Amino acid sequence: MPSNTKLTFSDPKTGAQYELSARVVETVKNTTTQVEDRLSLNPQDGAIDLFVRQEFGKYSAPTTRHLQIDSSQLSDAAAKALQAAIETGDSQNFKLGGIRGAEISVRSDIVSERASLFKGNTGGVVIAPTGHFAVEGGEAGLAGQIAGLEAAAVKAGQLAEGKDLYTAVGASLEMKKANLRAVQDTLSQVRAGTMAPDEKAKVRSAAATNLAELISSLGHEGTAGQLKAEAFQSYQDLVKTETVTGLKESMIFNGIRIQSRLDAPEAKVVEGWRQEIAPKSPPYESFFKDGKQTVNISYAAGHGEGFYEGMTEYFKKKDFTVKEEGDYASPRVLTKTLNGKTINVHLRHFREDSFKDINNPDYDMIVYGGHSNLGGNTRRSVENAPEATGEGKLIFLGLCSGKDNVDRVRKAFPDAQLVTTFNSSYFTKGAKDGTQFSDGEDARALNELINGVAAEADWKAISSDMKARAVGWNHGKELGNYMTPIDLRVVNRFRDSDADGVVDLRDKHFNLDVLPVKAQLDTEFTPKAPDAGVLNGDLPSTAAFFANTVDLYNPTFRKFSHEGAVLSDGYFKGGPDQPIVRFETQTVDGRKAYSMQLNDHYSHMGEEALRAVTMVAYNRHLAATESNYPIKDPKIAELTGLTAAAASLKYDHGRRNAAVWQRMIEHMKLPEGMDYGPMRTLIMKEKHDYTGSEKIARAYLEQMDPETQQALTDLYAADSP
């Protein structure tokens, strides 16, 4: 029988507090990343639904409660305050059932239920009397309809969590009906017309975005429900007939993104699509084609820690035998029979070539095990890899924080399945006086993967076994530490399939025509107006992905972003007086996120510089917004951000470290005596906090000459406590 609980929340703007009685519809424990996907709501049933997620640390699985509040309980001011609190991503704005200390994030349908309160700025996008989207001063005819449709899709992608375009434009049910007819009409005209294929694809992409927005804004019953079913049918037709792979995958994921707002029949259809982008099982149809009963594994063992010999001993303990001894030039072959299948591991020394056999039909699995070099080993391996789609291949990357290269690997080998790590992975050394690898999480995870493949198990079972038998106590209990293809929402935090700089998790609109961006290293800190259009966003995405790894090894950040919370959000229309990079704490997909955007006037910046600048901006944002940020002295806080920037330069494999550092110091208007050399030396000596720390910041300060120290003190004197 449903119970009641108290939900307390604060208006982030005024500080006003509200307390409501909420009915607990359902409580789920997030023991996998897919648990929340089965929660559902009706966006227009008179009850405000909230999915309230509570995390009490990594030692227990998060809990999500589906709450309902009678809409009549909320005044207009309270309803607006609740939505504002949701958008901020700040746990301090919420308390559930009197319990404090939990990290709380919320998803809700309050915007749909109280639509009249949330009409907002649409950037000039309107619904014309004909039902078509239009932009103020736009063209007439089909060209104008297409321009309006695309402008609406772009605006939809910019809206905050829980908001939809149709509410923003203040669309009545009759307007929504007319708009659906108009979208269908535009698609019909384009389909029958003579436009170039890529132009037609752009129209389909915009139409899909707007149809998803329309569907999510409608309730299940009555006329609205009928309209919703018709709009979903149009969306389903687009998915079914789409021929552009990336666009189709985007349509499917955005269907999954709104799945909780669908009625049961539509939700079932979307669940059927899921396997197209999140296969339920490894590619057994390729592994065991034509009666083949062997699994051949190409394994690159990383340098240091004796991984090659250590993994040989580990495999022997798992009943593998050495079939061919091998040497530095040829692989060692280990084999065993499992469930009637022969498993052959071809173990070799890593030479920046993890994907050497990605196009070799003799191999089924491509494996790397060893250090990540802060993402460098995977990056170099992709750069050195033969051209291949990865079809029929399963990639396992056992290393620390593999999430920073998920996008790179998937773009290089789009048809391969990938398993890699979320955070650090741990191992022990036992043999050779404690200098050689003995056992570890990645080895155990690979062993469970091999066992699962031999049993032809699905990803749900394999993932469960990895979590139970490979993952240590210091990882979260929801994901564990290994992202598999079914961990779709987690993986899409680190993918930018259309290269517009907006990660797939939040990208409602798939772009098909991003403009190339060329680095201009001599003037990278000089703002320049960009070309008109959607800029290629590989650079800001790369910087954000790397930031999620940097913060793992800097103790300053440990209370904040261990869950991959830095999300790339492309570019903002900036200018010379705006920061190069800006961050905003938001709620994205019901989770706290640090949204990162690059000033479009610095789109010509080189990767080394942007990654370093991003770490300074990230640290500044945390210092300014997080009450638990540990450093109160603004001078030391700034220097700590610079330690992360220096670490980025050291590990980015570039050759311009000192030059980039000097230009960054000049751009930040810091004293001239703040040289890179001493900072680099301190970073290189560090054996644990590889990406900087307050300790390193203070040591760097102590090494400065007195004049530089004083200049720095004077600069931050006004902000000191």
Please give the model's pTM, rounded to 2 decimal places: 0.96
Query: What is the torsion angle, in degrees rounded to the nearest 10, for the CA atoms of residue 453, residue 455, residue 459 and residue 462?
Result: -90
To the nearest 10 degrees (0 to 180), the angle between helices 197-217 and 141-158 is: 50
Q: Which amino acid, 305?
A: E
Q: Which residue has the tokens 């079939």?
A: 323
Owner of token pair 């990079």? 581
Q: How many CB atoms lie within 10 A of CB 573?
A: 10
For tokens 């404090």, name the residue.
100
Alpha-helical regions (H) of 470-606: 488-491, 538-550
Sheet of 365-369: strand order equals 321-324, 332-338, 341-349, 294-301, 365-369, 394-398, 417-421, 482-483
How many whole angstroms separate alpha carbon 471 and alpha carbon 480? Answer: 6
**CA distances in angstroms from 265 to 25, 102, 232, 721, listed in the order given:** 21, 36, 10, 59
CA–CA dist 106, 590 (Å, integer):
5
Nearest to 442 by CA among 464, 418, 471, 416: 471
Q: What is the pLDDT of residue 559?
A: 76
In Å, what is the CA distance from 258 to each residue of 85, 250, 271?
21, 13, 11
Q: Which of 586, 592, 584, 588 is nearest to 621 (CA)?
A: 584
Cα–Cα nearest to 52, from 593, 590, 592? 590
Given this model, what pLDDT does residue 100 score? 60
The structure tokens 């309902």 sit at 68
Q: Do the Cβ atoms of 625 and 619 come closer than 8 Å?
A: no
- Fold of the 284-485 domain: Rossmann fold (3.40.50)
Rounded CA separation 234/240 (Å): 10
Contact yes or no for 413/365 (Cβ under 8 A) = no
Per this entry, what is the length of the chain? Answer: 721
Cα separation of the two ends of the chain: 53
In 393-521, DSSP assigns E strands to 394-398, 417-421, 427-430, 436-440, 482-483
What is the Cα–Cα distance from 4 to 24, expressed in whole angstroms? 6
Listed residue (573, 482, 634, 477) closest to 35, CA to CA: 477
Q: How many CB atoms lie within 10 A of CB 394?
A: 24
Tell me, what amino acid is at 78? A
| Angle 290-291-294 from CA coordinates, rounded to 5° | 115
Q: Please report the pLDDT score of residue 59 as a whole number.
A: 80
Q: How far apart are CA 690 and CA 644, in angstroms?
A: 9
pLDDT at position 2 is: 65
Which DSSP letter does residue 99 get?
A: B
Give the mean pLDDT per block of 10 residues along the chain (721 residues): 86 94 96 95 95 88 95 94 94 82 87 94 91 88 96 95 95 97 98 97 98 97 98 99 98 98 97 97 98 98 94 98 92 98 98 98 99 95 98 98 97 98 94 86 99 99 98 91 98 98 98 94 96 94 95 86 88 97 96 96 97 98 94 96 96 89 97 95 90 96 96 84 59
Which 3 state secondary structure label does DSSP give 399? coil
Domain borders along the chain are: 3-115, 122-277, 284-485, 514-719
Q: How far apart are CA 457 and CA 465, in angstroms?
A: 11
CA distances, 642 to each of 577, 616, 665, 686 (Å): 21, 6, 9, 15
d(CA 463, CA 472): 14
